[in-house]
Every structure is written in C-alpha cells, then in structure tokens.
C-alpha cells in the first residue's frame, strides 16, 4: 500500500480504500478499478468480514490475479495485536492497529511493535493519532471518543513508531453526515508538515468534492469509503423487498452489486485516482 500512497502524493491524487467483506464485493471493486484504470485498496476490519481474514486474503489474491490494476489488501481499524498478527500471517499487504483512544505512550509502543513485525515482510503500517469518532457521537445518539489530532504529537508519534501512513482527525467522522462536515484545513496543513508520511482520511463518505480536493492537496493520500457503499447496497435490496416482489436473492444481490460498483466509480473519479494505473 505504501507505494500506492507515495505515488498519490507525487501525482496529486488519493487512493480510495473500500470496505469489502466477501468475494462479490472484492470483485466488484476490482472490476470497477480496472474499468477506471485506477489503483485501489480493499479493506476489512473487525466484525465486517463474512469470511475469515485468511479466507478473504486468499479470495482477494485469486480475484486480483484476474485484473491488471495495482491493488492492496488492508486491515482497517485492527483492534488487537492478535488481529494484526493474523492478517500478517494471511499475507495482507497493509495493516492498521487502532489504539487511538489509548494513552499516547501505549499507542506508540504498540505501533512500534507492529512496524517491527510488518517491515521485514514488506507490509505497510497505518497508525492513528487523535481519534476519528462517529457521526452519532456528535448528534448525541451514541457514546464514543473524538479528539482532533495535535501536530506536535503527530511528529513525536511518527518518530516513535516509524509508521508508513497516518490516520488523522481534523473534523472528519465515520458514518453518514447529516450535514456537510466542518474540516479544519489549517490543522491538516500543520499535520502534513509534522507527519512527513501520507495522511489518511477516515470517514470519506459524504465529504463535499471541493473539500475532498482541498484535503488531497494538503497531504491526504488515502480515503476510506464504507458508509456510502453499505447504504447503496442496502437501498438496492430494500427497493426489491419493499416492491413486494419475490426476493430472489441472487438477482437482488446482483442489483446491489451494481449500486455498490457505481459508488466505487464515483470515488475513483472524486479522488483523482481514475486513469492513474
């Protein structure tokens, strides 16, 4: 993944990273990437996969061999060292251990350990400093943790860990925004200068195109997309169900995958990745 992100930084685009959970979602993303001639990252995280990490990795490799675009397989928001170790054993090409809600020293020590395990394998490591929360925290419907990333802590974190990419919090949130987010671009510029590594935008879904382009110009090289994909697939299947038709599952899922693929194509174009492979 590191090479894809570095190319994005050099050429002024970001690589979209799409949430996947089975063969159909992986193949849809790769097929659309091929059509768009775009580099791509497919990712999965705790509780998201219908397949085990090992089975998903085997599936993704088999499918990726059918296409010619560069692709990476990423562990998103790994929550335990065991998950990271399992994905390394399964030959994921990048891993994230998200200890962003833990004390700085604990977060840094854990990511330093992940880097020590991953680097000899040629695996990219993503960390997070600050904490990207969820939309429902802001609307008062849930409990969680959101903290904007501090530029001074960012420099210390990268130096202490050696991570290859860094997820940052500058007003972005996971989930479906009820209104456009208010992004702190002055903070993002400082984070870019402090980090010296590609930055990652978590909570890409719903980001206004102008804000997205500005963020990419300030060091964002990877954009995570999950909520829009899930919503498109869910709405396609619900439309079949609510129409009172017999829900022949293969046909409904086929329509769902078409909707899923349309969102992927949108993001290849929004991030500027289309045509870069």
Residues annotated catalytic, as ranges: 76
CB 71 within 8 A of CB 64: yes
CA distances 188 to 25, 192, 199, 212, Å, are 32, 6, 9, 12
Q: How many residues does the chain have?
A: 277
Q: How far is CA 238 from the centre of its chain?
A: 26
**Residue 150 per-residue DSSP state:** P
Beta-ladder partners of 131: 147
Distance CA 276, CA 175 (A): 28
Cα gap 201→47, rounded to integer Å: 21
CA-CA distances (angstroms) from residue 254 to 30, 238, 250?
16, 13, 6
Q: Contact, 106 vs 99, CB < 8 A? A: yes
């Amino acid at each position: 993944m590191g090479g894809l992100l570095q190319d994005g930084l050099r050429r002024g685009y970001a690589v979209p990273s799409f949430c996947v959970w089975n063969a159909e979602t992986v193949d849809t993303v790769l097929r659309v990437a091929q059509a768009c001639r775009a580099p791509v990252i497919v990712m999965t995280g705790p509780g998201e996969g219908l397949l085990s990490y090992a089975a998903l990795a085997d599936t993704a490799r088999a499918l990726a061999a059918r296409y010619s675009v560069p692709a990476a397989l990423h562990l998103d928001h790994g929550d335990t060292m065991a998950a990271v170790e399992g994905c390394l054993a399964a030959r994921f090409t990048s891993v994230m251990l998200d200890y962003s809600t833990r004390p700085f020293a604990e977060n840094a020590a854990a990511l330093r350990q992940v880097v020590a395990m991953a680097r000899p394998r040629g695996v990219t490591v993503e960390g997070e400093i600050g904490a990207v929360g969820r939309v429902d925290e802001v609307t008062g419907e849930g409990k969680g943790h959101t903290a904007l990333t501090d530029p001074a802590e960012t420099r210390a974190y990268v130096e202490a860990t050696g991570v290859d990419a860094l997820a940052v919090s500058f007003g972005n949130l996971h989930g479906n925004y009820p209104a456009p987010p208010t992004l702190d671009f002055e903070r993002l510029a400082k984070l870019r200068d402090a980090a010296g590594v590609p930055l990652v935008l978590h909570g890409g879904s719903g980001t206004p195109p102008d804000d997205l382009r500005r963020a990419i110009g300030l060091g964002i090289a990877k954009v995570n997309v999950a909520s829009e994909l899930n919503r498109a697939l869910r709405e396609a299947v619900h439309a079949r169900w609510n129409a009172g038709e017999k829900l022949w599952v293969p046909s409904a899922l086929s329509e769902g995958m078409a909707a899923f693929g349309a969102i992927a194509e949108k993001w290849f174009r929004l991030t500027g990745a289309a045509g870069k492979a």
